[in-house]
A and B are shown apart, each in its own frame.
Chain A
Amino acid sequence: MARKLPPVDVVLVGFGWTGAIMAQELTEAGLEVLALERGGWRDTPTHFPPTLAPDELRFYWRHEMFQDTARETLTFRNNASQTALPMRRWGSFLPGSGVGGSGVHWNGQTFRFLPSDFIAASHNADRYGPLPDGMTVQDYGVTYDELEPHFDRFEKLCGIGGKAGNLRGALQAGGNPFEGRRSDEYPNPPMEMTFAQKQFGAAAAELGLKPFPAPSANMSRPYTNPLGVQLAPCTYCGFCEKYGCGNYSKAIPQTTILPVLMGKPNFTLKTHNEVLEIRRDSSGRRATGVTHVDVHGEVFEQPAGIVILCAYPLQNARLMMLSGIGRTYDPRSGEGLVGKNYCYQVVSSVDVFYEDRYTNQFVGAGALGMVIDEYNGDNFDHAGLGFIGGGYLACWTTNARPIETHRTPEGTPEWGAGWKKAVKENFLKSTSVSTHGASMAYAQNHLDLDPIYTDVYGRPLLRMTYDFTPNDRAMTAYLTDRAREIAARMGGREIKVNAREGAYDSMPYQTTHNTGGTIMGSTPQNSVVNRYLQSWDVPNLFVMGAGVFPQNAGYNPTGTVAALTYWAAEAIRSRYLRDPGPMVQA
């Protein structure tokens, strides 16, 4: 029997980036907010001080920061003809756990999606004709212009370093000429570029492209954000993605919001409390709170006026399915919406090896890179190409960690003396041009509950059915070719093309950019949440995170996830609290 706790105004399920932003905004509005986090407390000095943080074995190979697959994982298959099997070890993507969520171990590459990304269905149909059969891409229901002030807020919260390309409609030299109009410059200058970025920039410019420095949440200088919280300059140690930053140099909830939020009397955080279910009243139209279980196995009922799902996208979708809210998507009938439009991303790369130039790629940072955006979104004419969407190409120098990173040229043996020799010769002398491609939604790629496997509490695991689509394959082939052109001009001895071919493989790491499953849209017939991320079915339930993306764009998602969270928070503050109920009439 669950012990009933005193009610709160708002309960947040999960406490990463979206939870921290939402908690900050709603406590400012005077609400009493409780966050429930299934993992533990984490702060910089205790959990990843610089004396511990760069420990590859502990944090990456032994997965200290990631969700514990022995308690809960997901099952995976490429298509419905296969039996999905549990992922016993994370590979392709790395869901986080603990305070700060995956936001603690991200790289810090902080993009805004393109204006056309938010209207991918209508824009592409207008320009190229009807979308192909089976492609279920749709518009977000919110526009870039509406989100612009919220992108700006997040960039200032995080101290993003970058160079504007489109400042209030005026194109700026050195920035991304394709970006939507920005109301302000980035709060910090770009990071210091290294040899590899300079080679990439020169090669791209020779090809008539417009390289620009990547927007970075790794600090290019000391920064104090609008909340008064301090971020220190990055030391380019190369331990960002998969690691916590011990130098306070990467924007994460701990370095941007938590020092202020944790001191508020109307905020409470409970760690090691996993939400099992969203509770509803007898009408099913109103959430009454959540059921959660603590580390001792005691189960609680937590009543709340508003329930906001702030967990990782895969968790949010699963929790809705486990709570019976909305109908789970069935690709055979096309009915149901929860779990629909699961998307991922399609990445490839071209390595460049130098003979006598040192790239010293261990001098890196998660978002240290030069980028070109000519082949992203609808920045180029797709006529006759057989795909829509695209991605950016970039030369990143994010790390050269000794266990993980050993780039070797074509024809190198995979082990033994020959491999060691090649690693030694090339460790300091190589770089790579990567492509970061969008993933367009297709009817067959989706999430649902696994019929066989369960988690530590006996609840069905989430089942992922995913494979690359014809659009993905045509797109990645095109982008890889463009990357090859640039890489070939970067002055190296040789290049090596790492194309993305064959079926999607859940093991090699690609990106942790899982999207969809709780998509947003314009009607209850095409989406789980409305343009304010409010559940159509249960108006006092809101769903944050990249799960609301109807399809993925060719960028890293965190900037857009955060902007959507601020957008939803503002709608809750300015509209919902005054008139609780559906903010969009169906």
Chain B
Amino acid sequence: MRKSAPLLIAGSALLGSAQAGQANDFSQLERGRYLTQAGNCQGCHTPPGEEPFAGSRALETPFGLIYTPNITFDTETGLGRWTKDDFWRAMHEGKAKDGSQLYPAFPYPHFTKMPREDVDAIYDYLATLDPVRKKKPENELPFPLSWRTTVKGWNMTFFEPGVFRPDPAKSQEWNRGAYLVEGPGHCSGCHTEKNLLGADKKSRHLAGGKLENWAAPDIRGGRHGGLEAWSKAAIVEFLQTGRNAHSAAFSIMSEVISYSTQHMTETDLAAIATYLKDLDGEERAAPATPDDAVMKAGAAIYFDNCSACHVSDGSGVPRFFPPLAGSGNVNNPDATTVIRVILEGARAVPTKRHPSPLTMPAFGWKLDDDGIAAVATYVRSSWGNSGGAVEADEVRDLRSLLAGGPP
């Protein structure tokens, strides 16, 4: 198993597990750097503007705040005393050096799919970073979740350790894509709906999820999937540049693109696209037709406030201002992202290819809950969209939640 995976995965001839000499081997470090990027380790392990990989970023989970650890090799506060085996156990089994359980906010249910060679390469790469002394704050989790052994039960129910097994019936490209999406890329972390205990709903795999008060769209690319209208090339362009003819990345996805996918090889991005395009979705029942008066009010607000950029027919200016017609975010049954973008605005991620941080302004100060609900309803029900109506209460709740108040 271990011997075949790396051949497939990196196209490299490295065999066997870590050997002493490999730590200084340039190609080994490059491989580690690449995988560290592919897994977007920097995103979660770096609070905005602080030292990369030194941790302490607060992850908002439905259960409370979890602070990420320092993964530089500082001996007191980081991984400095960890062996390769310790690191492997964390990535593969979700166990810390002392044997305690890590919370699945750390995506070990995905990283477990990585073969030992890949995990060792990441270890070797992280070991080259300047160690930073930085202790993470205590997690803010209620009892009994603060008690790490509760995770044991969770693991028994939801966690299957084991490295990725290629499907021999599928192409090499498909398998590479599947490995990247399900393994290091851990795409379902955001794009799959969770059950009450925070585990992926298997039946809803990559069909859209919710994280930190953002609704992540369906990224299944086949029939009835959220990316059905996207070509493979469009998926590659999106991951590589942050924009394509359909959309522009913002919020959490902009970190993924900024730290991770824009640095990946085109071959790997094409593999991801191949895999996603092979995932069919489920047909959705059309939502009820919104109220006429609401649509009329929404249209008026849209023409005054939105049409300058998104154009009166919702076609936008592709790669500049995203089209709203056919948008995955707009059509998401969960309207959270649409409402939030109107409230707070959004910034398209600057990338190597598109350095402009094109930004939509906030309208939360300018439009009231009824107005936002009306314009969101109009946008979600026009030009062939079928996102459905948004109620003023939803806007009020999210506004209050984002302001730190009760929903």
Contacts and interface: CB of A to CB of B under 8 A. Distances in A.
B355 A50 contact: no
Interface residues of A, number: 24
B308 A235 contact: yes
Contacts of B363: 51
Interface string A259-294: 110010000000000000000000000000000000
Given A222-B320, A248-B358, A228 B353 contact: yes
Given A233-B317, A237-B308, A247-B309, A51 B355 contact: no
Given A222-B317, A232-B317, A49 B354 contact: no
Contacts of B321: 232
B347 interface: yes
A364 interface: no
Interface in B339-384: 345, 347, 350, 352-363, 365-366
Contacts of B204: none
A248 B362 contact: no
Given A51-B366, A233-B317, 6 more contacts: A44-B359, A49-B359, A51-B362, A222-B319, A230-B356, A259-B355
For the complex of A and B, the 3 pairs showing the least CB-CB separation, nearest first, are A49-B361, A45-B359, A259-B355
Interface of A: 43-45, 49-52, 222, 224, 227-230, 232-233, 235, 237, 246-248, 255, 259-260, 263
Main secondary structure of the interface of B (DSSP, over half): loop
Contacts of B360: 45
A50 B309 contact: yes
A229 B356 contact: yes
B266 to A, nearest CB: 18
B359 A232 contact: no
A27 to B, nearest CB: 14
Contacts of A228: 352-356
B313 to A, nearest CB: 14
Contacts of A237: 308
A229 B354 CA distance: 6
A49 B363 CA distance: 11
B contact residues, range: 20 to 34
Contacts of B355: 227-229, 259-260, 263
Given A51-B366, A228-B354, A232-B321, A247 B308 contact: yes
Interface of B: 305, 308-309, 317, 319-321, 345, 347, 350, 352-363, 365-366
Nearest to B348: A230
B358 A50 contact: no
A69 to B, nearest CB: 30
Given A50-B308, A50-B309, A51-B366, A232 B361 contact: no
A50 B361 contact: yes
A512 B318 CA distance: 36
Contacts of B359: 44-45, 49
Nearest to A51: B361
Given A45-B347, A232-B320, A247-B308, A259 B356 contact: yes
A514 to B, nearest CB: 31
Contact of A230 (B305, B320, B365): B320
Contact of A232 (B309, B345, B350, B362): B309
Contacts of A43: 357
- B319, B347, B350, B361: which has the most chain A beta carbons within 10 Å? B361
A44 B350 CA distance: 14
B325 to A, nearest CB: 17
A134 to B, nearest CB: 50
Nearest to A261: B355
A45 B361 contact: yes
Contacts of B345: 45, 49
A259 B361 contact: no
Contacts of A263: 355
Nearest to B308: A235
Nearest to A48: B361
23 contacts: A43-B357, A44-B359, A45-B357, A45-B360, A45-B361, A49-B359, A49-B361, A50-B309, A51-B305, A51-B365, A52-B361, A222-B317, A227-B355, A228-B354, A230-B320, A232-B309, A232-B320, A233-B317, A233-B320, A247-B308, A247-B309, A248-B356, A259-B357
B356 A255 contact: yes
- B350, B355, B363: which has the most chain A beta carbons within 10 Å? B355
